[in-house]
Amino acid sequence: MPELLRMPEVATGSTSAVLSAWQVEVDQQYSAGELVAVLETDKAVVDMEAEVDGRIVLLLATAGQEVATGEPIAVTAAVDELVSDPQAAAEELGVGKSAPEPAVVEPDRSHESDSVPAAAPQFSVQAAVSVPGHRIFASPIARRLAREANIALESIVGTGPNGRIRRRDVQAAQTQFAAGDRPAPSDERPAAPTSASGGYREVPHTRLRKAIAARLTESKTSIPHFYLRGTAVVDDLLDMRRQMNDGEQTRVSVNDFILKAVAFAHTKVPEMNVVWTPEATRHFETVDIAVAIATESGLVTPVLRDVGGMSLGRLAEATKDFAQRAADGGLRQNELEGGSTSVSNLGMFGTEGFDAIINPPQSSILAVGAARQTAVVRDGAITAATTLQVSLSVDHRPIDGATAARWMQVFIEALENPARIVR
Q: Say yes or no: 273 and 412 in one domain.
A: yes
Q: Say yes or no: 255 and 321 in one domain.
A: yes
- Residue 243 pLDDT greater than 90, yes or no: yes
Q: Say yes or no: 189 and 60 in one domain.
A: no
Residue 210, in any domain of the structure: no
pLDDT bracket for residue 101 (50, 70, 90): very low
- Residue 363 pLDDT greater than 80, yes or no: yes
Give the active site residues.
396
Residue 130, in any domain of the structure: no
Q: Say yes or no: 163 and 261 in one domain.
A: no
Q: Average pLDDT, stretch 11-40?
A: 85
Q: Average pLDDT, stretch 223-251?
A: 94
Q: Say yes or no: 37 and 91 in one domain.
A: yes
Strand order in the sheet with 29-30: 3-6, 72-77, 54-59, 29-30
Q: Say yes or no: 151 and 22 in one domain.
A: no
Q: Say yes or no: 147 and 84 in one domain.
A: no
Q: What is the CATH number of the domain that holds 311?
A: 3.30.559.10
Residue 60, in any domain of the structure: yes
Distance in angstroms (rounded) separating the CA atoms of residues 79 and 171: 45
Distance in angstroms (rounded) separating the CA atoms of residues 337 and 359: 11
Q: Say yes or no: 416 and 289 in one domain.
A: yes
pLDDT bracket for residue 338 (50, 70, 90): very high
Q: Say yes or no: 378 and 268 in one domain.
A: yes
Q: Say yes or no: 262 and 337 in one domain.
A: yes
Q: Which is more confident, 327 or 402?
A: 402
pLDDT bracket for residue 46 (50, 70, 90): confident
Strand order in the sheet with 65-68: 45-49, 35-40, 16-22, 65-68
- Residue 115 pLDDT greater than 80, yes or no: no
Predicted confidence at residue 140, as pLDDT, reads 66
Predicted confidence at residue 198, as pLDDT, reads 67
Residue 42, in any domain of the structure: yes
Range of the domain at 20: 3-109
Q: What is the CATH number of the domain that holds 20?
A: 2.40.50.100
Q: Which residues are registered as beta bridge partners of 228?
A: 392
Residue 118, in any domain of the structure: no
- Tally the domains of the chain: 3
Q: Say yes or no: 402 and 308 in one domain.
A: yes
Residue 89, in any domain of the structure: yes
Q: What are phi and psi of 368, to 5 degrees?
A: -115, 130
